[in-house]
């Protein structure tokens, strides 16, 4: 499974932050987290802050799965519009979901202030827009719904859009301070370092090959024959977690991304806000701490394990054509930004659920297990929300929002 291909910006700009040993003896703990990407790291942070004896393991090295291919666009918006989500789960639940993502954004702000690195985090505005005349009525209606629901939004018509941006906007929703950016690789390592300060034990290059319940305990066996005895297990293995379930938890696609070299001019890009269009698949744009532009999209559905997209290489003609399309689109977005050059090209798996919401919680077939499958465009945001909710479950609470994220929906 080529979850990520190409040179990703985060692991190119950042050397391996910390190296951890593999498990070489039998151990016991309260909670073991399988998967040490950003999702697992967030779980470890929340639990160790409560002094829970926690172990985290990964079959690879820390942050080298989906995390290194994550564009880490942080938004209160999810893959399904508020209008669409209202139709699926009801108005109150839909607004609650949007508020959860908004709150998670500001929770990241608080978390980074408690770490040894701000991880390139910044609160940003965001633009959701359409270049199609026939979507103007819908966008106006979506704007009204968000405004009535208490979100700090502004409607952009063609004139307002042209005053702020150098690309064609027929209608748009501009949201104030409801988005953000972060370096997900640095964030993952900083979270884990914070956990280590509180007693977290970390083992990379340690693959779990079996889990079995014995009474109230779970016994996990590693590929080299050692065991972990735990009270609870958290599955935070990203798209590999799908193997636990018969049902289709997400539609997998491969999303393509290019990253420019640092730039000095951003003419036509109002406040360097996060940008997303209404297309399906959509185009997304963000900046970086060192003044680069990341543009991504051009998603292609992934077939079975032998399909081309499942095992696509960065050198493949398909990949190179996608990167060229993205670069041409970027130049059309910002024709007045000179000397744009691509420095990194990469693609990665992207999973989208039918309602745009993550899967979080327990499953009847897996005693003493919690699952956090932060699928969708808001992976880091959902990681925060899900990790906090799993902490609540561990301490015997059952927040009502979990009903919307349940695994059997």
Q: Do 241 and 363 belong to one domain?
A: yes
CATH code, 214: 3.50.50.60
The radius of gyration computed from the CA coordinates of the chain, to the nearest angstrom, equals 21
Sorted by sequence, the CB contacts under 8 Å of residue 147 that are 6+ apart come out as: 153
Q: Do 25 and 146 belong to one domain?
A: no
The pairing of strands 366-373 and 227-235 is: parallel
In a domain, 294, yes or no: yes
Q: Do 202 and 338 belong to one domain?
A: no
Long-range contacts from 137-143, C-beta under 8 angstroms, 24+ separation: 138/83, 139/171, 139/172, 139/173, 139/278, 140/171, 141/83, 142/81, 142/82, 142/83, 142/173, 143/173
Q: Do 170 and 202 belong to one domain?
A: no
Predicted confidence at residue 372, as pLDDT, reads 97
Sorted by sequence, the CB contacts under 8 Å of residue 149 that are 6+ apart come out as: 82, 95, 98
Average pLDDT, integer, range 94-118: 97
In a domain, 96, yes or no: no
- Give the CA-trace dihedral at 379, 383, 385, 386, to 10 degrees: 120
Pair 116, 401: CB distance under 8 Å? no
Q: Do 207 and 135 belong to one domain?
A: no
Q: Do 165 and 260 belong to one domain?
A: yes
Q: Do 253 and 172 belong to one domain?
A: yes
Query: Which of 331, 352, 373 is the last residue in one of the domains?
Result: 352
Pair 252, 303: CB distance under 8 Å? no
Q: Total domain count for the chain?
A: 2
Predicted confidence at residue 245, as pLDDT, reads 80
Angular region, 111: left φ>0, alpha ψ -120 to 50, beta rest: alpha
For residue 35, give the nearest of 67, 57, 3, 53 by alpha carbon.
57
In a domain, 289, yes or no: yes
Distance CA 87, CA 80 (A): 10
Write out the residue range of the structural domain in which residue 302 sits: 124-178+249-352
Sorted by sequence, the CB contacts under 8 Å of residue 155 that are 6+ apart come out as: 139, 140, 143, 171, 172, 173, 174
At 155, is the pLDDT very low, low, confident or very high (cuts 50, 70, 90)? very high
Query: Which of 352, 369, 390 is the last residue in one of the domains?
Result: 352
The per-residue pLDDT for range 350-366, each reduced to its tens digit, is 888 999 999 999 999 99
Predicted confidence at residue 1, as pLDDT, reads 62
The per-residue pLDDT for range 56-89, each reduced to its tens digit, is 999 999 999 999 999 999 999 999 999 999 999 9
Pair 127, 177: CB distance under 8 Å? no
Does the structure show a pLDDT above 70 at 261? yes
Distance CA 378, CA 353 (A): 11
Does the structure show a pLDDT above 80 at 111? yes
Sign of the alpha-carbon dihedral angle for 407, 202, 73, 94: positive
Q: H or E element: which one contains 113?
A: helix 91-113
Pair 236, 63: CB distance under 8 Å? no
In a domain, 107, yes or no: no
In a domain, 151, yes or no: yes
Q: Do 150 and 41 belong to one domain?
A: no
Q: How far is CA 18 from CA 10, 15, 183, 307, in A?
A: 15, 9, 16, 35
Q: Do 311 and 277 belong to one domain?
A: yes
Q: Do 22 and 131 belong to one domain?
A: no
In a domain, 217, yes or no: yes
User: How high does pLDDT run on average in the chain?
Assistant: 95
Sign of the alpha-carbon dihedral angle for 386, 388, 394, 397: negative
Average pLDDT, integer, range 189-205: 97
The per-residue pLDDT for range 320-355, each reduced to its tens digit, is 999 999 999 999 999 999 999 999 999 998 888 999
Q: Do 315 and 230 belong to one domain?
A: no
CATH code, 342: 3.30.9.10
In a domain, 77, yes or no: no
In a domain, 214, yes or no: yes
pTM of the predicted structure, to 2 decimals? 0.95
The per-residue pLDDT for range 14-49, each reduced to its tens digit, is 988 789 999 999 999 999 999 999 999 999 999 999
Does the structure show a pLDDT above 80 at 255? yes
Q: Do 326 and 380 belong to one domain?
A: no
- Helices (H) and strands (E) counted in the chain, each on its own, are 10, 18
């Amino acid at each position: 499974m080529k979850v990520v291909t190409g040179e990703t910006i985060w692991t190119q700009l950042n050397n391996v932050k910390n190296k951890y040993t593999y498990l070489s003896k039998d151990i016991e703990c309260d909670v073991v987290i399988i998967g040490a990407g950003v999702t697992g790291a967030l779980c470890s942070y929340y639990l160790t802050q409560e002094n829970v004896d926690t172990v985290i393991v990964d079959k690879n090295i820390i942050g080298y799965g989906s995390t290194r291919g994550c564009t880490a666009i942080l938004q209160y918006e999810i893959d399904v519009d508020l209008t669409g989500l209202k139709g699926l789960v009801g108005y109150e639940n839909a607004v609650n979901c949007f508020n959860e993502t908004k709150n998670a954004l500001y929770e990241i702000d608080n978390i980074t202030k408690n770490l040894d690195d701000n991880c390139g985090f910044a609160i940003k505005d965001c633009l959701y827009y359409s270049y199609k005349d026939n979507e103007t009525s819908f966008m106006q209606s979506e704007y009204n719904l968000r405004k009535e629901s208490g979100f700090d939004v502004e409607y952009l018509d063609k004139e307002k859009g042209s005053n702020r941006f150098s690309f064609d906007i027929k209608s748009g929703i501009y949201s104030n301070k409801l988005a953000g950016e972060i370096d997900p690789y640095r964030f993952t390592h900083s979270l884990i370092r914070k956990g280590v300060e509180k007693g977290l034990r970390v083992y990379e290059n340690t693959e779990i090959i079996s889990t079995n319940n014995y009474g109230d305990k779970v016994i996990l066996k590693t590929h080299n024959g050692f065991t972990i005895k735990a009270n609870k297990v958290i599955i935070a293995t990203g798209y590999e977690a799908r193997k636990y379930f018969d049902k289709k938890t997400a539609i997998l696609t491969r999303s393509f991304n290019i990253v420019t070299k640092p730039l000095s001019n951003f003419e036509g890009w109002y406040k360097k806000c996060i940008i997303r269009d209404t297309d399906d698949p959509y185009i997304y744009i963000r900046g970086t701490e060192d003044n680069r532009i990341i543009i991504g999209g051009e998603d292609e559905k992934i077939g079975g394990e032998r399909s081309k997209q499942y095992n696509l290489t960065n050198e493949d003609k398909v990949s190179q054509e996608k990167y060229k399309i993205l670069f041409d689109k970027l130049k059309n977005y910002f024709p007045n930004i000179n000397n744009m050059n691509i420095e990194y090209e990469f693609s990665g798996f992207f999973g989208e659920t039918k309602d745009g919401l993550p899967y979080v919680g327990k499953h009847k077939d897996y005693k003493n297990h919690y699952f956090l499958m932060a699928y969708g465009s808001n992976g880091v945001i959902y990681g925060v929300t899900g990790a906090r909710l799993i902490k609540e479950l561990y301490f015997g609470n059952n927040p009502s929002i979990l009903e919307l994220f349940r695994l059997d929906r």
